[in-house]
């Protein structure tokens, strides 16, 4: 039986960046109150949510004010200190739960668990010191990819190394994850959402391109892979969601490799929250990842993940940095002559290479969609602006 709500749902969310900001758009439509915990009231989310509480997650008073009277607590990033989660245990439903969130926080724990489940991953090892790393390299060969288990994002905490000494500085803070360097044909992201009662829905697979370690372009449905591989990627993501009892949106980043046995996928990492590779769903899918995340954490029935326009391709291009003091100053130029472009600006202060917004174009011609989205982003970035 479906759960029956007794009061207007209040979703408390830790984080005040663009993800909570975009959750607010969906919360407004659903009549759900979003209550974010933000570091800065003038930040991306603070600007758009009058219900914001200000403080750090480690601030007990701020946390109490955040969860009092709320229906559920969720997150826009995974870097929530364990003591914070422990302090809330039993006071409010937390979605995703700490037991699941661990696998998005700790890459070693994730590799161990996925390997136990028989999910295909790059060959990997937990290495405690340079000697262990050299021993792994003797089996696999350099170069290797070495990662800090916790706290990485956008390529920080990932190094491609040709000798163990290149990560000598990292061993001081604990064991590292060493992986074979995968020669992939492309990177894809399998996005799904799961609600506590078990319902799971997947969006069409997306393909992502990175520039300098940061996601820059996402195309959905993924154009370069076979329908068999796309189906397999979806099965893997849904298996992970079910086995780890993930709640809310789950993004499974994967490498697509082609070898003598054909095309297959290897899981790179997990994110348990709306993800950059799912921004296209706002404009391209019947239900956006932000709406679905709210529905899932509230254990409400999930929405259709079908393409809004059957047969269309969505291309999302990130706006990374701008020559304008505020990219909104370029709105008139950027909108002119690009009537299909959907611009999303995050209200963030400009810094070099910072994610300031994104543009999505949904079209039956993928090349047109990509060219248009890139052209509009170039205008917002001020490529020709003095």
Which positions lie near ligand ADP, rule CB under 6 A? 122, 145, 147, 152-158, 179, 181-182, 187, 210, 213, 253, 268-269
- Least Å distance, CB 122 to ligand ADP, is 4
* Residue number, 3 or 210, with CB nearest to ligand ADP: 210
Nearest CB to ligand ADP, comparing residues 124 and 346: 124
Helical segments of 244-298, H only: 281-284, 289-297
**Nearest distance from C-beta of residue 215 to ligand ADP, angstroms:** 8
* Residue (190 or 362) nearer to ligand ADP, CB: 190
Strand-strand pairing, 72-75 and 10-14:
parallel
Q: Which is nearer to ligand ADP, 97 or 181 (CB)?
A: 181
CB 175 within 8 A of CB 164: no
d(CA 97, CA 272): 10
Query: CB of residue 182 vs ligand ADP: minimum separation in angstroms?
Result: 4
Cβ proximity to ligand ADP, 15 vs 347, nearer residue: 15
CB of 286 vs ligand ADP, minimal distance in Å: 28
Dist CA 385 CA 326 (whole Å) = 12
3-state secondary structure of 65: helix
Q: Which residues pair with 320 in a beta bridge?
A: 355
Angstrom distance (rounded) from CA 121 to CA 123: 6
Query: Hey, what long-range contacts does 119-124 have (CB within 8 A, 24 or more apart)?
Result: 119/236, 119/239, 119/240, 119/267, 120/236, 120/264, 120/265, 120/266, 120/267, 121/266, 121/267, 122/179, 122/180, 122/182, 122/255, 122/266, 122/268, 123/179, 123/180, 124/177, 124/178, 124/179, 124/180
Q: Which is nearer to ligand ADP, 148 or 314 (CB)?
A: 148
Closer CB to ligand ADP, 183 or 332, in the complex:
183
Closest approach, Cβ 231 to ligand ADP, in A, equals 23
> What length is written for the chain?
386
Closest approach, Cβ 195 to ligand ADP, in A, equals: 26
CA dihedral 276, 208, 302, 360 (to 10 degrees): 70
Q: Give long-range contacts, CB 8 A cutoff, 24+ apart: 347-352.
A: 347/21, 347/43, 347/44, 347/47, 347/48, 348/18, 348/43, 348/44, 350/321, 350/322, 350/324, 350/325, 350/326, 351/321, 352/321
Nearer to ligand ADP among residue 38 and residue 125 (C-beta): 125
User: Residue 141 or residue 155: which is nearer to ligand ADP going by CB?
Assistant: 155
Maximum CA pair distance of the chain? Answer: 61
Nearest to 145 by CA among 127, 169, 131: 127
Minimum distance, C-beta of residue 21 to ligand ADP, in the bound complex (Å):
21
Least distance from C-beta 162 to ligand ADP, angstroms? Answer: 14
């Amino acid at each position: 039986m479906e759960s029956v709500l007794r009061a207007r749902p209040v979703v408390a969310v830790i984080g005040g960046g663009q993800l909570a900001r975009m959750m607010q758009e969906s919360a407004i439509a659903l009549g759900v109150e979003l209550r974010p915990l933000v570091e800065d009231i003038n930040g991306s989310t603070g600007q758009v949510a009058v219900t914001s509480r200000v403080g750090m997650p480690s601030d007990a008073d701020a946390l109490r004010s955040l969860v009092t009277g709320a229906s559920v607590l969720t997150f826009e990033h995974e870097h929530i200190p364990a003591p914070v989660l422990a302090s809330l245990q039993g006071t409010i439903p937390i979605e995703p739960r700490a037991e699941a969130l661990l696998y998005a926080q700790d890459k070693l724990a994730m590799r161990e668990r996925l390997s136990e489940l028989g999910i295909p991953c790059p060959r990997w090892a937990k290495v405690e010191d340079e000697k262990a790393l050299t021993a792994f390299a003797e089996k696999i060969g350099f170069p290797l990819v070495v990662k800090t288990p916790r706290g990485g994002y956008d390529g920080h905490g990932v190094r491609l190394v040709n000798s163990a000494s290149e990560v000598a500085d990292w061993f001081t803070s604990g064991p590292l994850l060493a992986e074979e360097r995968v020669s992939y044909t492309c990177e894809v992201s399998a996005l799904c959402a799961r609600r506590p009662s078990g319902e799971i829905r997947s969006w069409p697979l997306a393909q992502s391109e990175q520039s300098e370690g940061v996601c820059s372009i996402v195309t959905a449905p993924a154009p370069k892979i076979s329908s068999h591989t796309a189906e397999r990627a979806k099965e893997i993501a849904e298996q992970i969601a079910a086995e780890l009892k993930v709640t809310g949106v789950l993004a499974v980043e994967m490498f697509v490799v082609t070898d003598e046995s054909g095309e297959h996928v290897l899981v790179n990492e997990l994110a348990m929250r709306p993800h950059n590779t799912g921004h296209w769903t706002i404009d391209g899918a019947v239900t956006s990842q932000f709406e679905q995340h709210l529905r899932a954490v509230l254990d409400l029935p999930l929405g259709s993940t079908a393409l809004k326009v059957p047969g269309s391709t969505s291309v999302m291009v990130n706006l990374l940095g701008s020559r304008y003091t505020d990219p909104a100053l370029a709105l008139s130029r950027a909108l002119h002559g690009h009537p299909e472009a959907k611009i999303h600006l995050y209200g963030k202060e400009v810094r070099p290479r910072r994610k300031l917004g994104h543009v999505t174009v949904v079209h039956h011609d993928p090349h047109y969609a990509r060219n248009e989205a890139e052209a509009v982003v170039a205008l917002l970035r001020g490529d020709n602006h003095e």
